[in-house]
Amino acid sequence: MAKNKSSYVCQSCGAHFGKWAGQCSDCSEWNTLVEAPNVSMPHHNKSAAKSTASRGTPRTASTAATGNYSGTHSAVMPLNAVSVTLDTRLPTGISEFDRVLGGGLVAGSVVLIGGDPGIGKSTILLQTATNMARADSLAGSALYVTGEESLAQVAMRAKRLELPADRLRVLAETNVETICAALTQEQPAIAIIDSIQTIYTDAISSAPGGVSQIRESAAMLTRYAKQTGTALFLVGHVTKEGTLAGPRVLEHMVDTVLYFEGQSDSRFRMIRAVKNRFGAVNELGIFGMTDLGLKEVANPSAIFLSRYDKPVAGSVVMVSREGTRPLLVEVQALVDDSQGSPRRMALGLDFQRLSMLLAVMHRHGGIHTSGQDVYVNVVGGVKVIETGSDLAVLLACASSIKERALPSSLAVFGEVGLSGEIRPVPNGQERLKEAMKHGFKHAIIPKANAPAKGAAQFKGINVIAVERLDDAIESAF
């Protein structure tokens, strides 16, 4: 038999190479390549690995090397003969969690859930597992595998959260072969692996937690999930740099990637879908932390508004859209004389975009910020990714510079282009309705998003439709 050839795995980005090099040619990190025996990853380049992962189907060729845990073999068949029951949605019992998943958990899907330690990953998954174990359709077929905590700790957590623990099965184990054997025996409809960083495979000699261990273990579990239709949650810890150890490897392998975001000192928790084969990307689930675990927030818009009694300069409410729903979010700006070289800071927004917007405001709005510090912050720790926030950001800066408050009954949205034009954003009418629902009386919005004049459903709101940044500034002040 041919001797297994070694390959090298970058411990930073997970790329595979046939040869050792001092610098990873993929992510440019130095001294990160570590030798890994080439057991089940016969690809020496990343694009091959990628295409395998993104197909999301089991590879029978590689199961020969690592074992086939479901005991079934894939067969070639006509496309129309494939049963399409895979897209069954299983409710998790927490409506906001169903929302980020794209409407419930899909059977046979693999979900990676990442976040800082202590943010609530184990809590929400234990809630989900106990809820789902009690669902009639699943009839107790949920398995929670803990590699971090003892069974007693998990039981204590369930008790503290007052979760019904009678139907959920638990296993404390870190060896992936043993876990797969247990899954094969128990055949749960959903399984939770908390966390993937603690899991290791006998097939590789390196220590648990390294990229190759994570990748191999996750690949084996993913293969099991795909072959049996088991829905799988993998918990992943985020490192200091804000990414999972071996992140790209796992992100490509799984169907859905969820991250906790926001401030850990806040009472609220947000989970964002950064990838989802079964739902909208950037969908945001919003939860409140309680003694009994994470609970859905009924009116999420309300938590991102600071609600002063009096309007204050530098504050503007925008109607953002995260995933599939509009959200009212307050943006605050402080522009002040600089004591040295001017600083720009953006919390919850893209820093580069802020610099660009300030340049547009100088050229096309006649308001300059040179020699001044500009700080912009989104209230509530939410990250605003879409460009519909542009106009609100600039009006907040202008309001701070002019030291003039905008009315607290005003809501704003719109993208700002490099030539000072105000561009439309998706779902404009839905955003207007959200503003009306929360009692806003005026809205400055892109002309192309404006409803037809006299439209009955927008009677309650005074729509100011603008085409250019200078129009917007003039109508605001």
Residues making up the annotated binding site for ATP are 115-122
Residue 293 binding: pick among Mg ion, ligand TYD, none (C-beta 5-8 Å cut-off by kind): ligand TYD
Residue span 112-131 as binding mask against Mg ion, x where in contact by CB under 5 A, dash where not: ----------x---------
Minimum separation from the CB atom of position 295 to ligand TYD (A): 7
Q: Which of 330, 286, 284, 333 is nearest to 304 (CA)?
A: 330
Q: Which of 39, 289, 312, 356 binds ligand TYD (CB under 6 A)?
A: 289
DSSP string, 42-63: ---SHHHHHHHHHH-S--HHHH
Q: What's the CA gap between 477 and 465, in Å, rounded?
A: 15
- Supply the minimum distance, in Å, between the C-beta of residue 292 and ligand TYD: 7
DSSP string of 129-141, one letter each residue: HHHHHHSTTTTT-
Nearest-angstrom CA–CA distance, 331 and 333? 7
Cα torsion at 347, 350, 353, 358 (round to 10°)?
A: 0
Work out whether 294 is an interface residue with ligand TYD (CB under 6 A).
yes
* Partner that binds at residue 92, options ligand TYD, Mg ion, none, CB closer than 5 to 8 Å by kind: none
Tell the smallest beta-carbon distance from residue 255 to ligand TYD (Å). 21
Minimum CB–partner distance for residue 119 and Mg ion (Å): 9
Instruction: Among 32, 122, 130, 332, indicate the residue that binds ligand TYD (CB under 6 A).
Output: 122
Chain residues 244-283 in contact with ligand TYD, contact rule CB under 6 A: 269
Closest CA to 91 of 127, 119, 57, 145: 127
Cβ-based neighbours of 16, under 8 Å, separated by 6 or more:
7, 8, 9, 10, 41, 43, 44, 45, 46, 49
Of the candidate spans 41-49, 57-65, 120-128, 364-372, the one that interacts with ligand TYD by CB under 6 A turns out to be 120-128
- Tokens 């309001």 identify what position? 399
Binding site partner of 223, from Mg ion, ligand TYD, none, Cβ cut-off 5-8 A by kind: none
Nearer to Mg ion, 122 or 141 (CB): 122
Binder among 22, 71, 78, 118 for ligand TYD (CB under 6 A): 118
In the complex, the smallest distance separating the C-beta of residue 263 from Mg ion, rounded to whole angstroms, is 19
Backbone angles phi, psi at 105, to 5 degrees: -85, 130
Interacting partner of 95 out of ligand TYD, Mg ion, none (Cβ under 5 to 8 A depending on kind): none
Helix ranges (H only) for 318-449 are 351-365, 390-402, 428-437
Does 293 bind ligand TYD (CB under 6 A)? Our answer is yes
Cβ distance to ligand TYD smaller for residue 48 or 156: 156
Phi and psi at 333, nearest 5°, equal: -130, 145
Q: Which amino acid is at 99?
A: R
> Residue 263 or 324: which CB sits closer to ligand TYD?
263
| Closest to ligand TYD by CB, 183 or 235 | 235
Binding-site sequence positions: 115-122
Pairing of strands 142-146, 190-194: parallel
> Could you tell which of ligand TYD, Mg ion, none binds residue 381, using a CB distance below 5 to 8 A set by kind?
none
Q: Is 123 in the site for ligand TYD (CB under 6 A)?
A: yes
Which residue lies nearest Mg ion, judged by its C-beta? 122
Lay out the sheet containing 231-237: strands in order across: 169-172, 142-146, 190-194, 231-237, 110-115, 256-261, 268-276, 284-290, 293-296
Residues binding ligand TYD (CB under 6 A) = 115, 117-123, 269, 289-291, 293-294
